[in-house]
Amino acid sequence: MKKILEKCKQMVFGHVGVCILLLCVLPLLLVSHGLFQEVEIEQESFDPEMEDLIVVGFSQLGSESGWRSAHTLSVQDALTKDTGYFLIFNNARQIQENQIKAIRSFISQRVDYIVFAPVIESGWETVLQEAKDAGIPVILIDRMVNVKDESLYTTWIGTDAWEEGKKAGRWLERYLREKNRQSEDINIVVLQGTMGSTAEIGRTEGFEAIAENHGNWHILESATAEFTATRGKEVMREMLRRYPNIDVLVSQNDDMTMGAVEAMQEAGISFGENGKVTVISFDAIRPALEMVNEGLINVDIECNPVQGAYIDEIIKRLEAGMSVEKSYVVEENIFTKDNVAKFLDDRTY
């Protein structure tokens, strides 16, 4: 270094000298201004074993909805360095192949636990067998997998989607009775979530189980809008075009409902408490509860995304050599204009 500087000095601002001087000084300047930060972070990355942390690989299925954001946050809030974890997070963007890749990478990194929210129920046997062979416990969260061998996962934390679908059906029965419309023909359209996901299967089948008891309920169409607001709007717009006489919209999450509401507004169709189309939604995230309060959504069937604390508790039990249940089902409510106001203040997501 000294020699180079000497040389630079000798050349005192000759062209070659300036170039060499720049070559010497520029990297130092860039480092001091943080432009090489990525390299610095890599050097600083710490070894979780040294810190005695439990390493968890979390494969989240996507970021398609407000509910999903709350769910991700709840896991990230529960598994922190302070609570004893080193969390590796992967977002699969609703693509099953991405989740399989993430799980394989967790296995090759030899994480202590895999936490996994499966986008759909089928197709997991091979990768779960790989995790089992590697001796890594798998904790399923939110949605379920459909596997013959239940020993492929340790436990599941989630909500009862089938019951949620039935709650929607039972609410509609009561509502129609109250309005004295129980014998009228009722035309229903259903916006479904990601096909083959637990939330879609459960909510579709649960609602249909109640609808079957009513010869006058006509499900005109059930179609997927993939749990997103954009697709909800597009699919509803098409449905409104095809069916001029919709009485009830069953939308399997709040994001699709918000999209569908926009489609109805644009088509000049009234909805909600004082409108033509009765709106049934699922999830109960804050913006939707505000719509319930305003009478724009008739009922919102809660699906509770605050599931992170369960993982912490389960892992701590497993670490202590204690047994855990095969499933944990999270409590849920139903919100209408009659009860929503008192829940609004506490709803953070």
Residues at the contact surface with ligand GYE, assessed by CB under 6 A: 64-65, 67-68, 142-143, 159, 199, 227, 253, 282-283, 303
Strands 334-335 and 299-302: antiparallel
Q: Which is nearer to ligand GYE, 65 or 99 (CB)?
A: 65
Closest CB 65 distance from ligand GYE, rounded Å: 4
Closest CB 43 distance from ligand GYE, rounded Å: 38
Q: Which is nearer to ligand GYE, 87 or 303 (CB)?
A: 303
User: What φ, ψ does residue 226 adopt, rounded to 5°?
Assistant: 55, 25
Q: Which is nearer to ligand GYE, 132 or 286 (CB)?
A: 286
Closest CB 153 distance from ligand GYE, rounded Å: 17
Q: Which is nearer to ligand GYE, 156 or 227 (CB)?
A: 227
Closest CB 285 distance from ligand GYE, rounded Å: 8
Closest CB 217 distance from ligand GYE, rounded Å: 23
String of DSSP letters for 266-281: HHT--BSTTSSBEEEE
- For residue 32, count other CB atoms closer than 10 A to its CB: 9
Closest CB 49 distance from ligand GYE, rounded Å: 34
Q: Which is nearer to ligand GYE, 61 or 189 (CB)?
A: 61
CB-CB contact of 162 with 139 (8 Å): no
Closest CB 64 distance from ligand GYE, rounded Å: 5
Distance in angstroms (rounded) separating the CA atoms of residues 248 and 251 = 10
String of DSSP letters for 159-222: --HHHHHHHHHHHHHHHHHHTT-TTS-EEEEEEE-STTSHHHHHHHHHHHHHHTT-TTEEEEEE
Identify residue 242 by its one-letter amino acid code. Answer: R
Q: Which is nearer to ligand GYE, 87 or 143 (CB)?
A: 143
Q: Which is nearer to ligand GYE, 48 or 158 (CB)?
A: 158
CB-CB contact of 332 with 159 (8 Å): yes
CB-CB contact of 132 with 302 (8 Å): no
Distance in angstroms (rounded) separating the CA atoms of residues 99 and 314 = 22
Closest CB 199 distance from ligand GYE, rounded Å: 4
- Any bridge partners for residue 190, and if so which? 222, 250
Q: Which is nearer to ligand GYE, 8 or 120 (CB)?
A: 120
User: For the chain, how many residues are written?
Assistant: 349
Closest CB 68 distance from ligand GYE, rounded Å: 5
Q: Which is nearer to ligand GYE, 99 or 159 (CB)?
A: 159
- For residue 150, count other CB atoms closer than 10 A to its CB: 10
Of 193, 171, 168, the residue nearest 256 (C-alpha): 193
- For residue 343, count other CB atoms closer than 10 A to its CB: 16
Of 51, 107, 50, the residue nearest 82 (C-alpha): 51
